[in-house]
Chain A
């Protein structure tokens, strides 16, 4: 009996090795996005973005002795922690070498804590922006190609301080995004010595904002920062504040930047300013063209970040010459940042060749990737000012 057991074990072992050996030239990357749920409209383009990078690398044949990169999709539901961790575990059982995901901040934290850390698996999220993920203890396993909302708060605080703003009134749309962003703006601005006279929420979809405007006006401030949506309550607040003469200048974070706002408000908005995520990298345009050719919309939110997330995995693997998460995770920051040759989308094959020859690269990708601190995108922002009824880019930060 004992012998039989031994023999079975031995056979199983050899079979296992043989199995692994036969597939040595395969790299499996999990794509763990919310294909159902609140961001189901974004997920298909995000998935296609990641798969585009994989197809490019497979075609180049330059990764780890011409390995084939196989994508493996699974669903997070965006807000379903149970579903996401179950699917992440299934991916591990299927032998993925890295997970691109999650997408929404909540499930991303859950997958990281429950699956990735216990199993030593690396995750690169293209779209989780919660500031909480920056401070989470991740054993160096978690990266993201999108900036934290805390970063936007910091950028905004810097812009306002540079323009000589001493005090602001702050209103936000009453949801997690608005609350997180307003907290970030408030703490960054106060850290720079500014004063926040009032922080108040507004509900979207109301017709009348006179009560909110009254409270904001009473608290006063040099400018009014509206962390909301330009087609929703944000517009109503600005209109009300202008009509009653409460504020003349407005601070406009990302959700408020769009062509419709200056058009709807009119010339009174001139002189207001803000910022939106965006870079002046050449990569964005290249990626958009590549995506068009591949048959999806590359300008859809987080599609380019997904491409970059997938590319970072494969470049780091080549740099470490291994698909073992414990080894290639150390190289992710190296390939993403200077020094080295700058790499745009569509040049992944070239990048892999450079790495193979022992050279260094500085992956720019579709979003001008620059990873800072705990492995998240530094986030480049366009500083916008409304001039003559148009959003004009003043500079990049």
Chain B
């Protein structure tokens, strides 16, 4: 019984939150890594792209709610998601046309692209705040829990509760579906193959008749989709606030770099590594050990490796170690 309690406590406070957070980071990191692989620069505007897509989704969700449209037990935002993706596709293609295209024709160095994306980031930052404001927005509806902690306790008679939120379930399922679809697209379709070819060797790709503008356009569209999905899932699970999304940029980049920039598989692994280390290293193991250890060996202290204040330090510690000893990331991406 105690063993079960320990497992449940660990699942409730470490596994489930980390898996959900990891999926959200992985989706975000996939977008960053695609842009790095195909367009060859680090896109600082990614966090705000997520915010923009989520904002459009929220506005459409509110409209649907006012019209009485809903999705039963699932959040209405899932119905509005395609509109959000279309919105951010429009925005990204627009910025590409008016901003990035100019620098691409100049054959500007990657560092210039990075600075340009910084400027784009500030513009999007302002745009989102201008439209929806800087405050917290809540847009989740439908059933909140798949299993709530109270029901679980009543069901099993265990002392520990296990909560599994609908948003967490949706996050994990959506992430799996999206990742499978993305890999299928990159490996099996003509467009996907041409994107990979362009990423591997630009000149050779041009010689074999691949239209670079088309590749760039598809990349932005896929990135818009990934960013919006990641943003909406994060917003459903937590809450939407433009500043929070801007701050997400840091763990997302950490995930992409740890996994290896430009390598989609690495982005996914990186997302989960960052999420699990953030949650588990700062977790106080007292409760779990209290169940597992014999009576007289139970710990008095919290058994916490690092205070939760150092949450971000953990991901950046890992980032530093990876960059020092394996600069191309765990999955052999491109070196930064």
Contact status B309-A220, CB under 8 Å:
no
Q: Is A243's beta carbon under 8 Å from chain B?
A: yes
A-B contact pairs, 18 of them (CB 8 A): A201-B307, A203-B309, A206-B247, A207-B244, A207-B248, A208-B17, A213-B13, A214-B14, A215-B283, A215-B302, A217-B9, A218-B283, A219-B287, A219-B302, A231-B136, A245-B161, A245-B163, A246-B13
Question: B70 on the interface (CB 8 Å rule)?
Answer: no
Contact status A210-B302, CB under 8 Å: no
Q: Supply 13 further A-B pairs (C-beta < 8 A) apart from A200-B309, A211-B283, A211-B311.
A: A200-B307, A206-B247, A207-B245, A208-B17, A215-B282, A215-B304, A215-B307, A218-B284, A219-B284, A220-B287, A236-B238, A244-B17, A245-B152
Contact B149–A245 (Cβ < 8 Å) = yes
**Distance between A169 CB and nearest chain B CB, rounded to angstroms:** 10
The answer to whether A41 has its CB under 8 Å from any CB of chain B is no
Report Cα–Cα, A236/B237, bound state, in Å: 11
B interface, CB within 8 angstroms of A: 9, 12-14, 17-18, 21, 135-136, 138, 145, 148-150, 152-153, 161-163, 165, 234, 238-239, 241, 243-245, 247-248, 278-279, 282-288, 302, 304, 307-309, 311
B140–chain A nearest beta-carbon distance, Å: 11
Q: Does A323 belong to the interface (CB within 8 Å)?
A: no
Instruction: Provide the residues of chain A in CB contact with B149, threshold 8 Å.
Output: 243-245
Q: Does A174 lie at the interface of the complex (its beta carbon under 8 Å from any beta carbon of B)?
A: yes
Contact A214 B283 (CB under 8 A): yes
Q: Could you tell me the distance in whole angstroms from the C-beta of A331 to the nearest C-beta in chain B?
A: 48
Range class of the A interface residue count: 20 to 34
> Does A207 lie within 8 Å of B238, measured CB to CB?
yes
B267 CB, min distance to chain A CBs, angstroms:
19
Q: Closest 3 CB pairs between A and B? A: A245-B149, A245-B161, A210-B17
Report yes or no: A245 in contact with B244, Cβ–Cβ below 8 A: no
Which chain A residue lies CB-closest to B279? A211
B16 shortest CB reach to chain A, Å? 8
- Cβ of A207 and Cβ of B302 under 8 Å apart? no
Q: How far is the CA of A220 from the CA of B149 in the complex (A)?
A: 16
Q: Mark A241-276, 1 if CB is under 8 A from B, else 0.
A: 001111000000000000000001000000000000
Q: Do A244 and B287 have beta carbons less than 8 Å apart?
A: no
In the complex, whether A198 has a CB less than 8 A from a CB of chain B is: yes
A207, A211, A243, A246: the one within 8 Å of B308 (CB)? A211
Contact B309 A205 (CB under 8 A): no
Main SS class of interface, B: helix
Residue in chain A with minimal CB distance to B18: A210
Residues of A within 8 A of B17 (CB): 208, 210-211, 214, 244
Contact with B along A112-135 (1 / 0, CB 8 A): 000000000000000000000000
> How far is A202 from B312 in the complex, measured between Cα atoms in Å?
12
Complex interface: chain A residues within 8 A of B308 (CB): 200-202, 211-212, 215
Closest to B148 in A: A245
A217–B234 CB distance below 8 A: no
Smallest CB-CB separation from B14: which chain A residue?
A214
Instruction: Please tell me which one of the listed residues A174, A218, A243, A246 contacts residue B286 in the complex, with CB atoms under 8 A apart.
Output: A218
Query: Are A198 and B248 closer than 8 Å at their CB atoms?
Result: no
Cβ-closest chain A residue relative to B165: A243
Chain B residues with Cβ below 8 Å from A174 are 309
Nearest A residue (CB) for B167: A243
Residues of chain B with a CB closer than 8 A to A236's CB = 238-239
Nearest CB in chain B: distance from A238 CB, A:
12
Q: CA of A218 to CA of B160 in the docked complex: distance in angstroms? A: 11
Q: Which residues of B contact A212 (CB under 8 A)?
A: 308
In Å, the complex CA distance between A32 and B248 comes to: 42
Q: How far is the CA of A27 from the CA of B311 in the complex (A)?
A: 57
Assess A201 versus B309: contact at CB under 8 Å? Given A219-B302, A245-B149.
Answer: yes
Are the C-beta atoms of A219 and B248 separated by less than 8 Å?
no
State in angstroms the CA–CA spacing of A244 and B153 once bound together.
12
| A245 touches which of B12, B14, B304 (Cβ 8 Å) | B12
What's the nearest-Cβ distance from chain B to residue A271, in Å?
14
What is the minimal beta-carbon distance from A176 to any residue of chain B, in angstroms? 16
Q: How many Å lie between the Cα of A245 and that of B149 in the bound state?
A: 5
Contacts of B243 in A (CB 8 A): 205
Contact with B along A128-150 (1 / 0, CB 8 A): 00000000000000000000000
Min CB gap B52→A, angstroms: 16
Question: Complex formed: what's the CA distance from A203 to B313 in Å?
Answer: 14
Q: A214-B279, A215-B283 are in contact. Are A244 and B12 (CB under 8 A)?
A: yes
Q: Closest CB-CB distance, A265 to chain B, in whole Å?
A: 11
CB distance from B289 to the nearest CB of A (A): 9
